[in-house]
Amino acid sequence: MFAPDSKWTLLVSALIFVGLVVLAGWRLKNARGIWGRIISAVVVLLVPVSGFVTVCFAINHARHFAPTWRSVAALAGVKEEREVQVEEAAIPAYTGHDRPLEAPDGPQWKAQFVRDPENGALKTDFTGPNSGVTMPVWVWVPSDYDPAKTYRVVILLEGYPSLTSDIPKVLDLDGQMPGITSDTIIAIPKLELDSESPDCVDIAGRPQAGSWVTKDVVGLVQANFSTSQNRNDWAIAGASYGGWCAPVLGLSHPQIFGSVISMSGYNPPMTGRLQDDPRAVSSYTITNMMQKASWPQRFYLTGTTGDTDSEVFLQEVSQVNKPNLPVETYLDPRGGHNWKIWHDHFPEALRWWQGEVPDNAVAKKTDIKQDAFFTGPLGPVLCGLSVVLLLGWALARGKNWGVLKRTIVVLAIAGLGAWCLLLIVNLDTKTVVSFESIDAFFKLLHR
C-alpha cells in the first residue's frame, strides 16, 4: 500500500508538507528568545525538505522509477562492498570469419505481439527460455513491414531509472525512422528485472540480465521477425545506463553484434552488483574490455560537455586506438543528460551505422545552450541565499504578521528551498542544463 510509487505514499507526503506549513506559520508567530527562534528556523527549513521529498514522490508515482524501498536505496547510492560471481561466458576469440546468426526453433520462442497504443510499437510479455526472466519487450517495425523481406536489427537498451514504454514515443521512431532507414527494426527490452538496480551481465543469485538481452531478446526477434543472419546487420545501442551496458554486451558477444552505439554512457559500471566488487569494476570497465577484444567491431559514441561522465568516457575510449575497433565519437557542445539529447543523437547514430559519415546535423538540431544557473553552483547558491534572507526576515518580523503573510513567506521559502535541492540533484543528473530544457523536468511529473 505504501510503496514509494503509490498514490498513498504521495498523499501522506503531501499531508506532511501541508502540516509543516501550518506548524511553521505558528512557530514564526511564537519565535521568541534564542531557542524559540532556533526551533522555528528548524521547523521552517523542514518545509522545503518536505516539499522536495513530495516532488520526488510525485515523479516516482508518475514514472515508477523506484517501485520498492530497496530500489530507492539503490538509487540513493547505498551499496556494500562484496565479491561478485559473474557467470557471463568468456569473450570468444575471433577466428577470422563470421558465422551466420541462426534463429532458435521451438514453440517457446513464438510470441503474441499486440500494438501498444501508448507508443505505436509492438509489445509482448516474454519469458526467456535461457534466463527465465519474464518481462515486456517492445519492437518497433516500419509501417510497411513485410515478412518476405530481410531486416537489420538494433537492440536498444534503456537508462536507469527509465520508463521503457515511453522510449519509442520519446525518440519519435514513427516520425524519424522513415527518413533514416526502411529496413531496420528496433527491439527495446525492459531491463529493470527486480527491485535492485540492473546488472547488465549474468551474476550468480541475480536475474540473468545478460542472457535476457543477448540470448532471449535476440532469439525472440529472430524467431518472430524476418531478420538478417549477418552480424554486421545487428547493432546494440543504449543511452545512459544503456550507454554503458550496450558496449559491455556488445564486447561480450561480438559474434552477434557488429556495431555498438553508446549515447551518454560511461566507462566503469555505476549500477548493479558489479560496482560492489573492485575486480568486477575493472573487468567491466569498457576500455579494459576493448583492450582484450579480438573481433572487428564498429563503435559510435556520443556525449555532451554538460555531462562530465560521458565527456570523460569519450576521451578515454578515443585513447584505446585498436585497428579492429574503429571508434567514431561526437561530443555535443550543448545539452545535458536527457531524452531530448538522445532524440537528436539517435538518428545520426543510425546514419553512421548505415555507412554515412556523421556531420554537424546533431549540433544544428540540438538548440539547447548550457546555463551556469543549472550546470554549476550558481543556481543552488542563489536559491540558498534567498532562503537564508527570507528566513532571517521571517524570524525577525514574523510575530507581527498575520496568518496570510506568514503562510505566503513560508511557502516562498518552501519553493526556493525545494528548488535549491532539485538544482543540487541536477548537478549530478544533468537533466536540465538551461531554461530552454526545463521541460525535461516537468515531463517527469506526468506520463
* pLDDT for residue 29 is more than 80: yes
* pLDDT for residue 168 is more than 70: yes
Find out whether 131 and 212 touch, Cβ atoms under 8 Å. yes
* pLDDT for residue 100 is more than 80: yes
Find out whether 100 and 232 touch, Cβ atoms under 8 Å. no
- Look up the pTM and report it: 0.81
State whether residue 373 is helix, strand or coil. Answer: helix
Residues sharing a CB contact under 8 Å with residue 229, sequence separation 6 or more, in sequence order: 100, 101, 102
Extended strands (E) in 233-370:
234-239, 259-263, 298-304, 327-332
pLDDT at res. 176: 93
The highest-confidence range among 355-364, 392-401, 430-439, by mean pLDDT, is 392-401
Q: Over the stretch 352-393, which tens digit does the pLDDT of each residue have?
A: 999 876 544 444 444 445 566 676 788 888 888 999 999 989
State whether residue 238 is helix, strand or coil. Answer: strand
* Helical residues (DSSP H) of 79-196, grouped into ranges: 167-170, 173-176
Neighbours of 270 (CB within 10 A): 16
Of 59, 68, 58, 44, residue with least CA distance to 13:
58
Asked if the peptide bond before residue 161 counts as cis, ω within 30 degrees of 0, the response is: yes
Query: What is d(CA 120, CA 138) in angstroms, rounded to the nearest whole number?
Result: 9
State whether residue 140 is helix, strand or coil. Answer: strand
What is the rounded average pLDDT of the residues 239-267? 97
* pLDDT for residue 183 is more than 90: yes
Q: Report the range of poorest mean pLDDT among 45-49, 359-363, 383-387, 432-436.
A: 359-363
pLDDT at res. 121: 97
Eight-class DSSP state of 216: I
CA neighbours closer than 13 Å in the CB half-sphere of residue 285: 14
pLDDT at res. 441: 66
Q: What is the third-level CATH fold of 100-354?
A: Rossmann fold (3.40.50)
Find out whether 314 and 303 touch, Cβ atoms under 8 Å. yes
Provide, rounded to the nearest whole percent, the portion of the chain with pLDDT above 70.
90
Extended strands (E) in 243-317:
259-263, 298-304
pLDDT at res. 366: 43
Domain residue ranges of the chain, discontinuous segments joined by +: 1-80, 100-354, 372-446
pLDDT at res. 163: 86
Query: Model confidence at 84, in pLDDT bands (50, 70, 90)?
Result: confident
pLDDT at res. 362: 43
Q: Report the range of poorest mean pLDDT among 41-45, 183-187, 286-290, 432-436.
A: 432-436
Query: What is d(CA 370, CA 383) in angstroms, rounded to the nearest whole number?
Result: 19
358: β partners: none
Of 280, 288, 294, residue with least CA distance to 319:
288
pLDDT at res. 369: 54
Find out whether 66 and 5 touch, Cβ atoms under 8 Å. yes
Provide, rounded to the nearest whole percent, the portion of the chain with pLDDT above 90.
61
- Of residues 121 and 334, more confidently modeled: 121
What is the rounded average pLDDT of the residues 207-222? 98
Task: Look at the chain and count its residues.
Answer: 447
pLDDT at res. 88: 78
- Of residues 433 and 97, more confidently modeled: 97
Averaged confidence pLDDT in the chain: 89
- Of residues 197 and 323, more confidently modeled: 323
pLDDT at res. 196: 83
Backbone φ/ψ region at 29: left (φ over 0), alpha (ψ -120 to 50), beta = alpha
pLDDT at res. 436: 64
Q: Over the stretch 246-256, which tens digit does the pLDDT of each residue have?
A: 999 999 999 99
The highest-confidence range among 3-17, 28-42, 124-138, 359-373, by mean pLDDT, is 124-138
Q: Report the range of poorest mean pLDDT among 24-33, 73-82, 192-201, 339-348.
A: 73-82
What is the rounded average pLDDT of the residues 325-351? 91
